[in-house]
Structure 1
Amino acid sequence: MFLRAIFSLVIMCVPLPGMTLEYYIAQSGNDQFDGLSMGKTQLGTNGPFLTLGRAQQAIRDLKKNGQLDQPVTIHIQTGNYVLQKPLEFDLRDSGFEGRQITWKAEGGAVVISGGIALQNCAKDQDNPLIWSCATSSLPLDKIKYKNNSRKQGSAPGFELFINQKPLHLSRWPNTDWGHIKTPLAEKTTFDTFEQLPQLSVLSEAQVHIFAGNDWFDEYTPVSSIDSNLNQISLAKNTTYPLASGRRFYLENIQSLLDAPGEWFYDRLGNKISFIPLDNLAPKDIIISAQKNILSLNGANYITLKNLTFQYSTDVAIIIDKSNHVVIDGVEISNIGSRAIEAKNSNDIKVTNSLIHDTGEGGILLSGGDRNSLEASNNVVHNCHIHNFGRIILTYTPAIEVAGVGTSVTHNLVEQAPGTGILIHGNDHLIEKNEIHHVCEQASDCGGIYSGREWTYRGNIIRNNSIHDLFGYGLKNINIATNTIVYGKSDGVRGVYLDDFLSGFTVTGNLFNNAGAMSIQMAGGRDNIIENNVIKTDSYAIWADNRPATTEVKKRFAQAIQNTAWIKKYPKLSNPITNQDWPEGNSLQRNIIITSKPGGLSLRYSLPKQNNIIANNLTWSTTGQFSVDYNILDGLAKRGGAPWQEWLSQGFETGSSYADPCVTITANKVSFCQQSPIKQIGFQPIPADIGLLK
């Protein structure tokens, strides 16, 4: 009987061809076990591993011994797995085609954490609002602040999280911003509108500042503060010259610790002090400690499924030169930088995932070959990304794509200070995404943004819903009366084709109050803007003229020598009448409904030759519709021209002014039976935009 039991056990544990080899990890496990079953056997040798690292070694042993002849699944049981160092996957951890390595959560939440839980915490005797935690036994000074072009200073290299929520370094003012009154030195010294507090011990102080505009923020160390003169001197130059009225706040000064949600690290006193959010008693007190949680370098055919990643100081999952990686059903939060960054990698799929509370954005995928136009086949699908860009506010998008051939489909992007989706490269598909309430702290910002290239061609922005974009920017400044007014920005766009961007297709999208300009085409060539529904109280389409830079023209000249490019983008061979004019664009079959008083909703600065504006349907709920136009090759120019006057110029043809009889509900658009949309050949917009349930 005993021998029969032994034989049965061996049969169960030895993998057979065509089957999946199963390993198990549990917090009740032991790294001396073989990891081949969830339950411990009477023999005491069979049972789950305790650590992720031990399971990783088991995979490496299989490969080393030539035994990886089937798929492998590592079942990770519910629990909090705290890393002492980042997990690092390379070729030794890779699967093969048909033999994928899958790391999978089971039984509940599996949290893979790069954090350190603080103990020894208590209320201060002198100030009962403040809690302090002793840190003398922790290697906190080894966690370095990530200095780069936008983050300069000596703030702590980690963040503090209480009850799963990020706290902010002690700051002034506690909410909103301070404002530059007068620049006293071009990039280093200024006085302020607001009265500065009396401050001391500024050795680690820094400012978070929009120095000269509303679209570029950075952190810069402080040299000195004179509270009597209301002057601040910076230890390093800002990127842009300082300008009156622009925003900043001071942070990382111990005496500024005075409001719920703030914290300070006292290096000399070996303690972290904080005031809990909403004065709630702290339960989980965690600092981010590991730079990354997981890295894949030259690792292929790996799947991560249903896992939760938290508490890294930089990118949570960093991927380089890796292929055929699936990240499905994960949650990533409380991260210092991006959630996922994949470079030089192909067939990376991020699907059905939740990403939030990241410091510098969501997902970056870069792959393919721009010379040959070979696609990366990277994918971001059905992900919910929100509250990103906590630390760097602008140009830290939810999704950034580069290279060639990434698909971004059915995602929900919302609640963020800066750009929603950022595009570099060629042949990307941005389809059926919902984007709203982004650019909340920025101007000159786009829900979907790309720019400054004639060679970013083949990109398609199709069937997306972009709505409720308001932006934030300087409206008025009066030094004499000591007043500054910030508010809704006139520089936020739904789709922003910036600075001579060319070769994009923007079709079948639904824009509903999508910023000051629903679509801006800024001097580009060969763009197609067709079959969109635009409801706005501002500009629907703004197409302007701006000459491309010498460097952009140089890259274009190189591109047209590439036979692969000419074959893929035949318009590159078309003759150019004027390199400084936007040519080859098509604006057709768009439905435009404006509620703006006076109805000024379109602005065209284009040559009539080589551009098509036709078969559009316009309507104003105020009874007036007007157009700004500058026909570059016709010497005709007028601001606020009535619709019929614009049509009389003969540029736009086949278009009409009529009520489209449209209803917009969430991400769906419908038309009444008598709607005139058939007259312009309008095609229905799909109803399945946004997250898939």
Structure 2
Amino acid sequence: MFIKLVITLTFATFCSAAAAKDFYVSPSGSDKLNGLSPSVNFWTKTGPFKTLDRAQQAIRQLKAAGKFNQDITVHVGKGIYQLQSALRFDDRDSGLPGQEIQWVGEKDASIISGGITLKNCQPYESDNPNKILSCPLDANTVVNIKGDNNNRLEGNAPKFELFVNDRRMHLARWPDNEWAHIRVPLNEKTHFRVFEKLPSFSGDLSKAQVHIFPGNDFYDHYAGVSTLDLDNNLITLSSEAIYNLAGGRRFYLENIKAALDNAEEWFYDQTNNKIFFIPSSNLVPKNIVLSSALNLLMINDASHISFKNLAFRYTTAHAIRVHGSNNIVFDNIEINNIAGQAINAIENTSITISNSNIHDIGYGGIFISGGDRPTLTPSNNTIDNNRISDFGSILFGLSPAIEIQGVGSEITHNLISNGNSSAIKLHGNDHLIEKNEISQVCLQIGDCGGIYSGRDWTYRGNIIRYNYLHDFLGYELDINNFKKTGSIIYRYSGARGIYIDDAASGFEVFGNILVNSGTMALQIGGGRDNRIENNLIKIDQLAILVDTRGGYFNWEIPRSSLATMPVHSAIWSKKYPALSAPMSQDTWPEGNTIQRNIIITPGVSNVSIVRYWMPKQTNTIANNLLWSTNGNIKVDFGVLETRASGGNTTWEDWISRGFETNSLIADPCINLVGNKINLTCVKSPISKIGFKPIPNDIGLIF
């Protein structure tokens, strides 16, 4: 019996071992080995491959020989795997359902790099007060480096970046840390006078470019400089600005060797093939790297592949690109020091990005699309439990941490912080945005939302639920002051917590906590059929704004979208019945519900806490609880049917008009610690409005 048991266990162990195929890769390995062992034995030619390409080739050979009948795991050992071009995956690299191919590294130790390390850096000249270092380059090192094909990146700057001790350096610039400003445009697109005095730069200025917000606070781009007229304080761009130039708008000049005078600045001397830079104060520059590879990983028409415990660094465009693929998993990965997006995934299904750390990104963090809108087929893409920070470092505006398109994606339990742009931007239908924590976003732009969508009546079925947004304001020109006085003042303002912009409709915004999240906690910009319910808002500015859009908005945009989508089909009319119903006034915000929300404010004098510009009919405002520590609640309103309006009207006057019903002013007895709601009295009045508990598990799950 004992012998039989031993034989049975031995056979079971053998079968278990045979249920998976393992390959190994290590920087100390060799592509002449068989890749079947983590340790090297040159006598038997057993040991790890040296390159990722060789491991990929081994899997393809195995599949071509008809021997793919088990899971395959590629164990990527610790070390740096330097790539000059992307590792490309297609259907030949795919797994099968229940038979996946996994690429697994050692966390924080297996690094896939598109960088080139610079050596032999020395102090520049004997008289060197700025402590400039000079690094020689081989003439062939940078000649083939390409940058992202992006019309917002024009000019003569290098296509690569410089990183020292893993910190992004900035091209030599003026002003060093602040912005310069347009005094007056001399034509619409290219020529302007500068508000500040231009420095008397010496030397070659032919490679100079500007980073500019030409006409607003949300759209920036880079342009080359045709001429710098230092005597007359004039700049002429070599290509047209995307928006018309406007007085007071900001820019800085960069890529000027004469401006190399501040820590963490650099310049590429193309003539002499040298990199010049000034390291951070009191830090020895130990790791000096140029980004070189355009991308690191490209996946097309592949499936059932996972990547775990890997780090991706140093690209001149997106780190990872995925197209037309399904069942791809990125888990516990790190992506940083990237010029473009961390992950750009177009037209995919069942893509999972989880438990990862994405930071120091030039554009946005993750862009993902999938599903089919006409049939409302979901993509089942998931972005869960990731930490995303320090994004929008190159392009500040329109570079969100996460952007989704299509149908049926889920964004859950992410921590998003410290970004120049929006946190989450969504387009399409039936997305779930749930239990994310968002803070310190919109740092360099105005007209910005922590969670943002806009410009489409047909974006229906989206749920924004149980998120915690706090502590951000935006950044924008005080345009009224500029027009009155000519003085340029930028203020921390212009952000919204949840921004349903430009006629976006059919959103459910439920159970969110918004604390000092922008100039407005929540805005509906002319949209329809939105449900704003059970949210807790604590703010010293505007809590909720519903507007009817100004004359600037082109209503043909949502009308066109409505005409091109099958809103009267069986699936659409059943799922979104309000969308196919007649509109009494299509430019009015109709069918919205605002109820059971709690608003807490210090009650700033003569400042309205809510602003409703909407028709009384079809909209519902009811059962809300408002509380001011000084008892001062003001309302700004406009009733569109009667044209009755009031600015900073009293609460009593507002209620007497019968627009808002069953709402009350009372102390909710709430002590808010982070996203945890603690009641400080036994009989809190929140029960009178039917306020429902908000879950505690918001944010990262450790």
TM-score (norm 1): 0.96
Deviations 1:82-141 (A, max 9, x none): 113210111111111111110001376101001111112111124431111111343312
Residue 681 of structure 1 is matched in structure 2 by 690
1:37 positional shift: 1.4
Residue 224 of structure 2 is matched in structure 1 by 221
**Secondary structure of the residue that 2:58 maps to in structure 1?**
helix
Residue 177 of structure 2 is matched in structure 1 by 175
Q: What is the aligned counterpart of 1:198 among 197, 200, 203?
A: 200
CA RMSD of aligned residues (A): 1.9
**2:90 and 2:149 mapped to 1: Cα distance?**
27
Residue 4 of structure 1 is matched in structure 2 by none
Aligned runs of 1:522-533 on 2, under 5 Å?
522-533=525-536
Residue 571 of structure 2 is matched in structure 1 by 564
Q: What is the aligned counterpart of 1:605 among 613, 625, 637?
A: 613
**2:107 and 2:26 mapped to 1: Cα distance?**
10
Check 1:410–1:256 CA distance in 2 against 1; reply closer, same or farther (3 A cut): same
Contact 2:298/2:320 (8 A) holds in 1: yes
Q: What is the aligned counterpart of 2:638 among 630, 636, 641?
A: 630
Residue 595 of structure 1 is matched in structure 2 by 602
Residue 257 of structure 2 is matched in structure 1 by 254
Q: Are positions 1:77 and 2:77 aligned together?
A: yes
Question: Bigger shift: 13-22 or 292-301?
Answer: 13-22
Residue 623 of structure 2 is matched in structure 1 by 615
**Secondary structure of the residue that 2:609 maps to in structure 1?**
strand
**1:362 and 1:478 mapped to 2: Cα distance?**
34
Residue 143 of structure 2 is matched in structure 1 by 141
Deviations 1:369-395 (A, max 9, x none): 011110000011000000011100011
- Give 5+ residue unaligned stretches, structure 1: 1-10
Residue 118 of structure 1 is matched in structure 2 by 118
Residue 490 of structure 2 is matched in structure 1 by 486
Contact 1:223/1:234 (8 A) holds in 2: yes
1:332 positional shift: 0.4
Aligned runs of 1:234-273 on 2, under 5 Å?
234-273=237-276
Residue 5 of structure 2 is matched in structure 1 by none
Check 1:481–1:575 CA distance in 2 against 1; reply closer, same or farther (3 A cut): closer
Check 1:553–1:534 CA distance in 2 against 1; reply closer, same or farther (3 A cut): same
**Secondary structure of the residue that 2:574 maps to in structure 1?**
helix
Check 1:31–1:432 CA distance in 2 against 1; reply closer, same or farther (3 A cut): same
| 2:55 partner amino acid | A
**1:578 and 1:226 mapped to 2: Cα distance?**
53
Residue 549 of structure 1 is matched in structure 2 by 555
Check 1:307–1:12 CA distance in 2 against 1; reply closer, same or farther (3 A cut): farther
**2:609 and 2:485 mapped to 1: Cα distance?**
34
**Secondary structure of the residue that 1:59 maps to in structure 2?**
helix
Residue 3 of structure 2 is matched in structure 1 by none
Q: What is the aligned counterpart of 2:365 among 362, 379, 382?
A: 362
Residue 659 of structure 1 is matched in structure 2 by 667
| 2:186 partner amino acid | L
Residue 653 of structure 2 is matched in structure 1 by 645
Q: Are positions 1:44 and 2:58 aligned together?
A: no
Residue 109 of structure 1 is matched in structure 2 by 109
Q: What is the aligned counterpart of 1:436 among 439, 443, 455?
A: 439
Check 1:54–1:183 CA distance in 2 against 1; reply closer, same or farther (3 A cut): same
Question: Bigger shift: 165-174 or 29-38?
Answer: 29-38
Question: Bigger shift: 599-608 or 244-253?
Answer: 599-608
Residue 185 of structure 1 is matched in structure 2 by 187
**1:482 and 1:631 mapped to 2: Cα distance?**
36
**1:548 and 1:228 mapped to 2: Cα distance?**
43
**1:517 and 1:506 mapped to 2: Cα distance?**
15
**1:124 and 1:480 mapped to 2: Cα distance?**
49
Deviations 1:635-661 (A, max 9, x none): 321111111111111111111111111
- Give 5+ residue unaligned stretches, structure 2: 1-10
Contact 1:145/1:154 (8 A) holds in 2: no
1:549 positional shift: 1.3
**1:59 and 1:601 mapped to 2: Cα distance?**
62
Deviations 1:579-623 (A, max 9, x none): 121111110100011124125100001111111111100111122
**Secondary structure of the residue that 2:281 maps to in structure 1?**
helix
Aligned runs of 1:242-641 on 2, under 5 Å?
242-278=245-281, 280-475=283-478, 483-489=487-493, 491-546=494-549, 549-559=555-565, 560-598=567-605, 600-641=608-649
Contact 1:429/1:460 (8 A) holds in 2: yes
1:469 positional shift: 1.2
1:242 positional shift: 1.2
Contact 2:209/2:223 (8 A) holds in 1: yes
**2:491 and 2:226 mapped to 1: Cα distance?**
31
| 2:636 partner amino acid | D
**1:321 and 1:229 mapped to 2: Cα distance?**
54
| 1:592 partner amino acid | I
1:279 positional shift: 5.0
| 1:549 partner amino acid | W
Check 1:497–1:482 CA distance in 2 against 1; reply closer, same or farther (3 A cut): closer
Contact 2:147/2:317 (8 A) holds in 1: no
1:16 positional shift: 7.0
Question: Bigger shift: 556-565 or 345-354?
Answer: 556-565
**1:317 and 1:345 mapped to 2: Cα distance?**
14
**1:110 and 1:167 mapped to 2: Cα distance?**
24
| 1:557 partner amino acid | A
Residue 157 of structure 1 is matched in structure 2 by 159
TM-score (norm 2): 0.94
**Secondary structure of the residue that 2:61 maps to in structure 1?**
helix
Deviations 1:439-481 (A, max 9, x none): 0111100001110100111111000000111111112655998
